[in-house]
Amino acid sequence: MPGPAPRSSEEQVSHGHGDRLIAALSRETWMPLAATATGSIATTAVALALPAALAAAVNAVVTGRGALTATAYLALLLAGAALAEVATGITSTTATASAIGTLRLRVAGHLLSADVSGATRFSTGELVNRLVSNTATAGSAPVTLLGTITGVAASAGAVVALFAVDPRAGLAFLAGTPVLIVVLRVFVSRVSGLYDEYQSAQGRLAARLTETLAGIRTVRAAGTANREIDRVLRPLADLSSTGHALWRAQSRTVWQIMLLMPLVEILVLAVAGLGVAEGRLTPGALVAVAGYAALGLTFVEQIDPLLGLAYGRSAAVRVLEVLALPVLPAGRRRLPDGPGALSFRGVTVTRGDTRVLDDIDLEIPAGALTAVVGRSGAGKTTLAMLAGRLTEPDHGRVLLDGRRLSDLDPGCLRDAVAYAFERPALLGGDIASAIAYGTARTTREAVRAAARAAEVDDVVSRLPLGYDTPAAGAPLSGGEIQRLGLARALLRRARLTILDDATSGLDTVTEAQVTRTLVEGMRGRTRLVVAHRPATAARADLVIWLEAGRVRGRGTHRELWRHRDYRDLFAPDALDSRGEPHRGEPAGVASRQESSCPR
């Protein structure tokens, strides 16, 4: 879709940018908008012709000449007005739906192409609110703007027609309208800022609610439901305050308008009435003056569309803040045949004021199992994301088989790299589709073989529908879901497989079985594993030890075990250099905590 080029997420997004987004939407949906404009123009033309037709009918009845013709013409105009209204309603609904759909597709596509680390700037609830609610409001703006333009055009045409019928009545009309225009302008200017605050509070409320619902088990287990309710509803105070401010602004404006509009109409009708009394105007002309005066004042009715536009501009700004997330530019080169050698050359990644990775130089051997270890915040996950280009380094290069990842065609890169995550999402429909997700062509037997390798085939087989069980409602534990994610990575048979803490939810026995698959079943393919347990590191061909974004050490687990700081990484697991438990007190025994409740 044409529109503003993506900006960095730090750049300030203003209402001017929102206006450009609405203009781009208008260009994208020009066909249904053109149909809506045609219907609106027809409706406006009929509305402008009606007072004149009514005046002609009145004069014809008074004079007794041509009454039938004038009445028939009036009836034809009324029928035309009804048809134009119906057609405009249909086309405007179509145009609005088209604009909303176009904007949502653009936002969704942008998010799926964005740097993964940048998307974490927004919570899931905030993104959902902007993708669903804000796109609907911003997508309605082009049709609202068109309605406002045609409404103002109808008012302007009515004023011209009023001058044509009686210039004195036209001058009387103009004398009373400036005050109305000032009132409207002040109102719209004030509510624009209030709408920004209102939508911001709405977004915070949606984000907190989504977070709480996602962690409902933790809330129930901790007994903090009331505390969470208070936290989720905290933005309601801002929402209520802003909402009341909007209502106060609207109420002040409404009574002013309701007072001024009748005064203008009375002034115009008084001038026209004097014209009839003086013989300057016919009775029909008085009817026409009344009709055009009422139609001329319909610009006041544009207050609702103007509010809609203010709301749409505010929503467009919130949508653009998502579209401002940096996108990873797509390369075009293909990946040459190779064993899967991974290289990091002078790689630096900065998040805010923190260097997550600082000038990293690494060579991951082709076909080897490499474990990445380190304390929380050392940069392990960032390194894993860089390896498959889910994020981009600020400086330096990442290469696979000598080819820079940023130069590669995205489809080619995805075929070469497989991921398994700590909390995998089961997408695709049923269990079989969730395992095969991202694999173009596969068989049910291949899916089952991958599940067996990930030690999850027996779990799936016990489900009522087996591999046809809907993934969304399957009664699976966190460790079982992790194993399904592992099966998905194993099925890909990629030259580089990356496991980002993908075995953290497994029990010791299952992890040992899965690790055996990684060591033996995937021999010859490059594996990069973010590890927290010494048993995994002990079986790796190479261990990369990260500390504060730098490489503290590299070598085998046995070699690094000589360092006390390295051994402390795995406390309280306390395994020796072979990954075997030390003798002594059992690891992981927690001390009893005092409780105020009886046991």
Q: What does the domain layout of the chain look like in residue ranges?
A: 15-323, 342-569
For residues 17 and 578, give the distance between their C-alpha atoms in angstroms, rounded to a whole number.
59
DSSP bridge partners of 404: 399
For residues 262 and 264, give the distance between their C-alpha atoms in angstroms, rounded to a whole number.
5
Going by their DSSP bridges, the two strands 526-530 and 496-500 should be labelled as parallel
Please measure the distance between the N-terminal and C-terminal CA atoms of the chain and give it in whole angstroms: 63
Q: What is the pLDDT of residue 15?
A: 60
Report helix, strand or coil for 528.
strand
Give tens-digit pLDDT for 416-430: 999 888 888 888 888
Q: HSE of 124 in the Cβ direction (CA atoms, 13 Å)? A: 7
Give tens-digit pLDDT for 39-87: 888 888 888 888 888 888 888 887 777 778 878 887 888 888 888 888 8
Q: What is the pLDDT of residue 346?
A: 94
Give tens-digit pLDDT for 555-578: 999 999 999 999 888 875 445 545
Average pLDDT, the chain: 82
Nearest to 182 by CA among 248, 266, 257: 257
Give tens-digit pLDDT for 99-123: 999 999 999 888 888 888 776 777 7
Q: Can you name the CATH fold of 15-323?
A: ABC transporter transmembrane region fold (1.20.1560)
Over residues 362-366, mean pLDDT: 92
Nearest to 573 by CA among 584, 554, 587: 587
Greatest Cα pair distance, the chain, in angstroms, is: 117
Is the model more confident about 132 or about 310? 132
Is residue 48 within 8 A of residue 162, CB to CB? The reply is: no
| Exposed e or buried b per residue across 580-589, where buried means at least 16 C-beta atoms within 10 angstroms of its C-beta | eeeeeeeeee
**Residues 505, 510, 515, 521: what is their CA dihedral angle, to the nearest 10 degrees?**
-130
For residues 84 and 98, give the distance between their C-alpha atoms in angstroms, rounded to a whole number.
21
Is residue 342 within 8 A of residue 528, CB to CB? The reply is: yes
For residues 268 and 175, give the distance between their C-alpha atoms in angstroms, rounded to a whole number.
10
- With residue 403 as reference, give the H or E element that holds it: strand 403-404
In this prediction, residue 524 has a pLDDT band, given cuts at 50, 70 and 90, of: confident
Is residue 380 within 8 A of residue 372, CB to CB? The reply is: yes
Is residue 139 within 8 A of residue 25, CB to CB? The reply is: yes
Among all chains, which residue has been given the structure tokens 């902007």?
130
Q: Can you name the CATH fold of 342-569?
A: Rossmann fold (3.40.50)
Among all chains, which residue has been given the structure tokens 């974004």?
549
**Residues 576, 545, 400, 497: what is their CA dihedral angle, to the nearest 10 degrees?**
40
| Full-model pTM | 0.69
As a residue count, the chain comes to 599
For residues 241 and 221, give the distance between their C-alpha atoms in angstroms, rounded to a whole number.
34
Radius of gyration of the chain (CA): 34
Domains 15-323 and 342-569 share a fold: no
Q: Which two tokens stand for residue 594?
A: 């005092």
Q: Which two tokens stand for residue 64?
A: 């007794």
Is residue 546 within 8 A of residue 378, CB to CB? The reply is: yes
Type of residue found at 356: V
Give the Å distances, CA to CA, from 190 to 120, 185, 253, 259, 381: 33, 9, 11, 21, 46
Type of residue found at 91: T
Q: Which two tokens stand for residue 272?
A: 């026209």
Question: Helices then strands (H, E): number in the chain?
Answer: 23, 10
